[in-house]
Amino acid sequence: MKSSSAIVSTSVDAVTHSSSRAFQHTARFGGTALTVTYTLNREEHGRRQLAEVGAVMDERTLAALLCLPTGDLGQVPARLTRLVDKAEAAGFAVVFQDPDGQHWAQRRLAAPVTVLEISMHARNWDGGSSVLHDWVGYAARVLHLDELATEEKTAVLSEAAFYGIGIAAGADANTVLPPDNYKPRRWTSARWRFAELVYAQYLELAEQSS
């Protein structure tokens, strides 16, 4: 995932995605403007607001937290003890040490948003798809094209369907091909960090609008 980002939108838009209430904003990730559609984990957001905790951007900390259970205490691997202790200090985990010196912990932190879709606007398939290939595994992906010429429509849609990328075309961004359903096999620290980055942008935009 591209680490650098800059917000393009001036506000967060409320949208409907698959019959669910969601939010949407646009930001530059690695120099490319992408529109992210996401739902807010209101319980986690509320907990963080009360604890005055914002977005957590350290991927090593997130990776360590992923090793911990949320409903019970789990044994902490020795290699992660230092990171988990730091997480406890920040309020991200509860840690206990037994008489034998073994650390046990439970994760308190959860992903603040669920990213549903990543979309971008491009003049042609080749340029847009090369960017969206970098985002496979993060969310459903949609490419908005200015137009889809008749002579290239079959080739573009065939390739897009193969890669699971949705296609929208025209000024109204009419859906020509929906993206594949996004069904991640597992939750990763990279995906969690991206969710935290989107959450940080959400908080910044919300503050600007208040």
Average pLDDT along the chain, 210 residues, taken 10 residues at a time: 72 82 93 94 94 92 93 91 88 91 92 96 94 95 93 95 96 91 89 96 90
Instruction: Answer yes or no: do 95 and 191 share one domain.
Output: no
- Do 132 and 40 lie in a common domain? yes
Reduce the DSSP state of residue 140 to 3 states and report it.
strand
| Residues 103 and 120 both lie in one domain | no
Structural domains in the chain (count):
2
For residues 116 and 101, membership in a common domain is answered with no
pLDDT at position 3, please?
55
| pLDDT confidence of residue 11 | 83
User: Looking at residue 4, what is its pLDDT?
Assistant: 60
**Per-residue DSSP letters for 30-47?**
TTEEEEEEEEE-HHHHHH
Does residue 50 lie in a domain region?
no
pLDDT at 54: 92
Whether residues 34 and 76 share a domain: the answer is no
Q: Looking at the structure, tell me whether residues 121 and 189 fall in a common domain.
A: yes
Element (H, E) at 20: strand 20-29
Alpha-carbon span 16 to 13, nearest angstrom = 10
Are residue 116 and residue 28 in the same domain, yes or no? yes
- What is the domain extent for residue 74? 57-107
- 32 and 71 together in one domain: no
Output the pTM of the full model: 0.90
Q: Are residues 61 and 123 in the same domain?
A: no
Do residues 96 and 121 share a domain?
Answer: no
